[in-house]
Chains A and B, each alone.
Chain A
Amino acid sequence: MTDAMIGLIALPLAGALATLLLPRSATAVAIGTGLATTVAAGLLLSGVATQGALHYEIGGWSAGLGIALRADGLSALLLMMTALVALAASVYASAYFNTASERARFWPLWLLLWTALNALLLSGDLFNLYVTLELLGLSAVALASLSGRRAAVAAALRYLLVGLLGSMMFLAGVSLLYAGYGTLDLAALSHMVAPGPSAWTALALMTTGLLLKTALFPLHFWLPPAHASAPAPVSAVLSALVVKAAFYLVLRLWLDVFATVVTPAAANLLGLLGAGAVLWGSWHALQAERLKLLAAYSTVAQLGYLFLFFPLLLALPSGPARDLAAGGLVMLALTHGFAKAGLFLAIGVIQQRCGHDTIRQLDGTAQRLPATTFAIALAGVALIGLPPSGAFLGKWQLLAGAVEAGQWLWLVVTAVGSLLAAAYIFKVLGHAFGHRPYPNQPVTVAREEWPALLLAGMAALVLGLSGAPMWKLLELGI
């Protein structure tokens, strides 16, 4: 099973090299690599489910001297989501990019991004995390600017600079921790870290750096232009996975490594920023005139929900109520990953088939693509948090946690945010009901439409209806 961990890193990396060296068969190599990586993620997930948390010491050096890879329920689930989303987006990308030279430029960077995501989720070492963050950031920026258009390049540049600032803050925190505790191993640190100036400062620096990368309000300003101007498969992965990777690290730090250091007041601050993100992001999504911008602002809002959980997790005593809240958080994150990726892919189909993504002009155009419209609807259900999506269960736990902890503010924010989400999703869907001819085949362009549909279906149906095993798996995690 531990070999699956190496596979998750080595396979996409080797795939990146292969697609670079063999540009003619890059698509086939990339899809093959994607399938193999997904199998590795599946093996790891089943390994964690049966054997509990796994770890692997690279080079055979004990953790601390060397670097250890670690996988528990949380990381295994996120790795699985990464694999499924990236695989679906890969299939879509194979149809999205028309020319051989576009594909030749895309695939190596794409697989490097995938490598970075897997490496980040598996890493058990602070400095190694910094390197994976940089690999992730650079590959994401390179992909975001792929179209070469002015708006995309400008947004990518800003994305890069913000990301670098974030990385530097993270690294400053790492230095501080190394100065204080003499190790970079996360597991060792979680036993050693004690409240005090150096731990507080390190946590503050690392959190700030990561919040920049995960685009928590008000540090979100770079996200909408970058996500809205990237090619559709890239936007999907940026919104669904890349920001979530930084979020995952915040979660790890707060609930695991720094569990003894964090204070309810600090968590309340995160919660307040999250609330700001929910309201601000949803409001701007509602004002957006283009679909991609709507989706990007929705990402800002959806990340906000994840931060509403922090004050609850700190307020609730450890026990079933807290475990459920933590599970709800993960469920919400997973659902958003699938839903947002599906949404961006669907938008990509519309943009390519109809030549635009202006919401006002969608009347009838979405009609010609019923499967894609349906994918948007399913993704929308998940973004609003309606049943039977996984997000419904996630929000249920969020509300339950808020009631349990007596923190009513989060309850109000969640309610308002969900209604705003309904408003912006149905603003789009309202345009889909026009009196235009309806094609005879529900699915018109299979390779482009199925990935979005499957991802959205995953978010809206599968996670909600058969996500019960997830909770069991998470008991091994946080």
Chain B
Amino acid sequence: MNWDAWLPVLVVASSLLPGLVIFFLSEGSHRLRTALNLAGAILKLVLVGILIWGVFHEHVYESRWTLAPGLELVLHADTLSVLFVTLSTVLWLVTTVYAIGYLEKAPHRSRFFGFFSLCVSATVGLALAGNLFTFVIFFELLTLVTYPLVAHRGTPEAVRGARIYLAYTLGGGMLLLIGTVWLHVLAGPTAFVEGGILSSLPAAYHPQLKIIFLLLIMGLGVKAALVPLHGWLPQAMVAPAPVSALLHAVAVVKAGAFGIVRVVYDVYGVNFTDQLGLLTGLGIAAAITIVYGSVMALFQDNLKKRLAYSTVSQVSYIALGTAILGPIGTIGGIVHLVHQGIMKITLFFTAGNYAETLGIHKISEMNGVGRRMPATTLAFSIAALGMIGVPPVAGFVSKWYLGLGALEAGMAAWVMPVLITSSVLNAAYFLPVLYRAWFREPGPAWPAEHIPAARFETSAALLWPPVITATLALAAGLFAAAPYSPLEWATLIAHREYGL
């Protein structure tokens, strides 16, 4: 194997190996663990940088390993995978820093960081998967390694939440597996190819292909929290904040959405999907989820729960973009993969900060928190405004392209109302929070002040990550037209998918 074949493997290994080593470290070796974590994260960032440059210049990075006749583990870097890999890598680095601060004195840190690294390895592997078989493997691995993270606290609620999470995701995994096997029997190894590979199959297969599509989307939809398969997501909120952040922004939810994008564009092909009449169904499911999630979010007082339902809603923008035929809608959906990630991770970081610093878990406790924690609240506000779609934050860009795409595809009649309703609802559940935080008088005391205000409003490791991600969210909107911006990259993807 040459360098081009090793690079994808190295990208996965740069978090896998530190993770495995960390398991064997004693609880006390704090420095070594931190060093390993950060070294792995930074190395991965460098490797991904090379990958971005190479893929842009149409280099082929591919590793293959035969597991059984006809079943190959393939890691392959294309534009879409690079987008997701980059998102994961950047957010992993930030989240690692955050988690080091968050778990400073908590027990079982070696176990936590070990699984944390494995979780990112699985996500990156899933992003780089070159065929559906490989994707399924990493998809299931992701389930496995996130289970201990959700159950990490060991309380009965945590174990229960983790069990529900597992029941949903393993059930989904089984549907995905059956769909994949079926497809494999019909069409042979299903490599991810831009434009899809199934349109050449005889028409007699079309009914089966429709059922398979349903199985695949249902399997992926569990992780992507498509209604009514979303039930695990609010339950999994028991996880520590960095885990929730990663789960909602990158790892689990996004893996499902990414899988939907892969299946529609690179397995079935978007035109063939439309020809089979499946695109509209997907769009409707996404639209229902968007509205449902937003409505549910309105009624949550628990901050993390509100954010969780917001995730249910926001992730389906990606599925919605996928369901809109035409490059512009595609761009909207794919770019939201990144934008939602950056914004949602900011929101979870800040929610974690409120809880860790002042013991605030509920929105009703947030009165005047902006004065006590201005930087955190500013980050929260930027991300929240982005979610609503206020320019110039990143979220606006996504919604703009989705709307434009719907117009172009002639689907505006039902997509537009969904977008508008959702934005109104977004505003309805975020703006009152902002109002409370900035303009209400604080109560006599915070629920439980763990970290007193010193040089910063909270400890540095907790403060910088949300500030950085909020800045990124702002930058992604402001400099959307710059080269290598998420938007530009999404445009590149869309052009390659449509063969433009």
Residue of A426, A435, A440 near B166 (CB, 8 A) is A426
Tell me the chain B residues, 123-175 only, with Cβ under 8 Å from chain A. 136-137, 140-141, 143-144, 147-148, 151-155, 158-159, 162-163, 166-167, 170-171, 173-174
Residue B24 at the A interface, CB < 8 A?
yes
CA distance A418 to B147 in the complex (A): 17
Chain B: CB-nearest residue to A384: B170
- Known contacts: A400-B184, A415-B174. The answer to whether A440 contacts B67 by CB under 8 A is no
Query: Interface residues of A, CB < 8 Å — how many?
Result: 42
Q: Are B178 and A415 in contact (CB under 8 A)?
A: yes
Q: Are B154 and A387 in contact (CB under 8 A)?
A: no
Partner-contacting stretch, out of B68-76, B260-268, B447-455: B68-76
Residue of B28, B140, B159, B184 near A440 (CB, 8 A) is B28
- Known contacts: A426-B163, A464-B67. The answer to whether A433 contacts B174 by CB under 8 A is no
Q: Are B24 and A433 in contact (CB under 8 A)?
A: no
- Known contacts: A433-B148, A435-B154, A471-B68. The answer to whether A399 contacts B140 by CB under 8 A is no
Residue of A403, A430, A468 near B163 (CB, 8 A) is A430
Q: Are B67 and A468 in contact (CB under 8 A)?
A: yes
Q: Are B178 and A411 in contact (CB under 8 A)?
A: yes
Residue B464 at the A interface, CB < 8 A?
no
Residue of A370, A387, A438 near B137 (CB, 8 A) is A387
Interface membership of chain B positions 66-100, coded 1 if the CB is closer than 8 angstroms to chain A and 0 otherwise: 11111101000000000000000000000000000
Q: Which 8 A-B pairs have the closest CB atoms?
A: A387-B137, A440-B26, A399-B181, A433-B154, A433-B151, A403-B185, A434-B154, A468-B66
- Which chain B residues border A396 with CB–CB below 8 Å? 68, 71, 177, 181
Chain A: CB-nearest residue to B159: A430
Q: Are A393 and B178 in contact (CB under 8 A)?
A: no
Q: Are B141 and A468 in contact (CB under 8 A)?
A: no
- Which chain B residues border A386 with CB–CB below 8 Å? 140-141, 143-144, 173
CA distance A433 to B161 in the complex (A): 13
Residue A350 at the B interface, CB < 8 A?
no
Most chain B CB within a 10 A radius of its CB, from A388, A465, A467: A388
Q: Are A422 and B166 in contact (CB under 8 A)?
A: yes
Most chain A CB within a 10 A radius of its CB, from B23, B24, B148, B185: B185
Interface membership of chain A positions 416-457, coded 1 if the CB is closer than 8 angstroms to chain B and 0 otherwise: 001100110010011001110110111000000000000000
Closest chain A CB from B431 CB (angstroms)? 39
Closest chain A CB from B254 CB (angstroms)? 20
Chain A: CB-nearest residue to B27: A438
B residues near A, CB below 8 A? 23-24, 26-28, 65-71, 73, 107-108, 110-111, 136-137, 140-141, 143-144, 147-148, 151-155, 158-159, 162-163, 166-167, 170-171, 173-174, 177-178, 181-182, 184-185
Q: Are B136 and A387 in contact (CB under 8 A)?
A: yes
Residue of A437, A442, A464, A471 near B69 (CB, 8 A) is A471
- Which chain A residues border B170 with CB–CB below 8 Å? 384, 419, 422
Chain A: CB-nearest residue to B73: A465
CA distance A471 to B68 in the complex (A): 7
Closest chain A CB from B197 CB (angstroms)? 18
- Which chain A residues border B141 with CB–CB below 8 Å? 386-388
Closest chain B CB from A209 CB (angstroms)? 33
Closest chain A CB from B281 CB (angstroms)? 23
Residue A80 at the B interface, CB < 8 A?
no
Closest chain A CB from B109 CB (angstroms)? 9
Extra contacts, 4 of them, besides A422-B166, A471-B68 (Cβ < 8 A), are: A320-B69, A403-B182, A411-B178, A433-B151
- Which chain B residues border A327 with CB–CB below 8 Å? 68-69
Residue of A415, A438, A467 near B67 (CB, 8 A) is A467
Closest chain A CB from B205 CB (angstroms)? 13
